[in-house]
A and B are shown apart, each in its own frame.
Chain A
Amino acid sequence: MGTDIRHTPLHDVHTRLGAKFTDFAGWQMPLRYTGDVAEHTAVRSCAGLFDLTHMGEIVLSGPQAGQALDYALVGHASAIGVGRARYTMICADDGGILDDLIVYRTGEQEYLVVANASNAALVAGELVDRAEDFDTEVRDASADYALIAVQGPKATGILAPLTPTDLATVKYYASYPTTVAGRPALLARTGYTGEDGFELFVAPGDAEAVWAAVAASDDIIPCGLSCRDTLRLEAGMPLYGNELTAELTPYAAGLGRVVKLDKPSDFVGRAALAKASAETPARKLVGLVTESRRSPRHGYPVVDPADGARIGEITSGAPSPTLGHPVAMAYVDADRAVPGSALAVDIRGTITPVDVVELPFYRRSS
């Protein structure tokens, strides 16, 4: 990691709000403002405002932008309608996951790829290399965007007076070029919290004005990355580095549906992924719950309660603020991955009973 820590254009705003910061993927980001639980609860019951400017944005434009992405990613980017978005992945030749992405088709010949902060440089580099033989320009546009997320059941009501776009017409996983608080914005109905909400891509110089306009609502509080992690965990959403790694294929992660083996063109990782699609993974990603007050955490062994044999590993775990007990995701041996199975986790030396449950732990009422 470089010695220069990067600040988002909202850094002064966060400082004035009394944020506690954390260094994440080379950025100094707000970890929390008031408290993790209050922020988590606000997103579930009302709304939360996030600065996600650390996310990477890569823009592909040109006649073959879609074909380039079809080759570079496991999804079928050229089949995405203009204005729509897809969750997808970029894999290595061996099928290992390099990152999970959201691809927005922002024009007939233009796409916006959003990568995780920790992988942004790698993804941008891979896209440049993989697009070499296509008639498209690939540009790391991360510095052109601030990303502000408005998440929660009241997100629509808060944003509606600030934009001319009729939010009722903005579908889930769709994006619109519009204005928010009079500033140009790409408004997308996407998020990582398990709630309805929007992500606003704006120019860095407009970030403070857009943030202030949204924050003026009484129904929203600023939220840090700490609660974002418990929100996505409750919603059963994978996190790169925890549930997704270069050692796993999308099939091994239970996300084989994102791989479009039947798309007409070749793509990086195709042969390895075709093989993986026909195999039964040795382990499966499951949800675990426990009545213990101590929470399973990343890296803890999942064990057989009968003999203590190691049968898996926790990828993410935390006390769930919404449910009031710890929840965790884990890879466990496929024959033990059945919902209802009684397993155990070694929590710092104490063998603690857990039950396998269906993911997600939390689903919003529609």
Chain B
Amino acid sequence: MSTIPDNLRYSAEHEWVAVTDGIARIGITEFAAESLGDIVYVQLPEEGESVTAGEPCGELESTKSVSDLFSPVTGEVVDVNPAAADNPAAINDDPFGEGWLFTVRVDGDPDGLLDADEYAALIKEGE
């Protein structure tokens, strides 16, 4: 059973979001990281780029497969995590912490996201 922190919100594409003072920090969930296997390459959006909720904005490549990275929110990319890009193993090791991917300046509270219980139900449904 993978960890699903209560204080985060989630997209159906298995990203997590933490909003603080209008900045959304984004990563992929432990469930997603475990499904992908060892991530060996990550392509992230660039600083200043506009991303749209539900649209692909990067890629995650593991030895096994490649998956699109979807932005769970709409806004402008403020920062990307160089540690995740340089050492993608950090995403597997600590998906909710050191393995965060990028931050986005959001206008108000992003909608369409799931809380931890809803996300847990979504994963369970897919099993």
Binding site for B on A (CB under 8 A): 20, 31-32, 35-38, 40, 226-227, 229-230, 293-295, 297, 318-319, 321, 348
Contact = CB atoms under 8 A, between A and B. Distances in A.
Interface stretch (B12-20, B34-42, B98-106): B34-42
In the A-B complex, the 9 residue pairs with the closest CB atoms: A37-B38, A293-B41, A36-B37, A319-B40, A36-B38, A36-B63, A35-B38, A226-B64, A230-B63
B64 A297 contact: no
A36 B62 contact: yes
Contacts of A36: 37-38, 62-64
A40 B62 CA distance: 13
Scoring A20, A293, A321, A348 by chain B CB atoms within 10 A of each residue's CB, the highest score goes to A293
A68 to B, nearest CB: 39
B63 A294 contact: no
Which of the four size classes fits the interface of chain B?
10 to 19
Nearest to A224: B37
Contacts of B66: 294-295, 297, 348
Interface string B30-71: 000011011011010000000000000001011111100000
Given A226-B64, A293-B40, A293-B61, 12 more contacts: A31-B37, A32-B37, A35-B92, A36-B38, A37-B89, A38-B38, A40-B63, A294-B41, A297-B66, A318-B63, A319-B40, A319-B41
Contacts of B35: 20
Interface of B: 34-35, 37-38, 40-41, 43, 59, 61-66, 89, 92
A3 to B, nearest CB: 16
Contacts of A321: 40, 63
Given A295-B66, A297-B66, A35 B61 contact: no
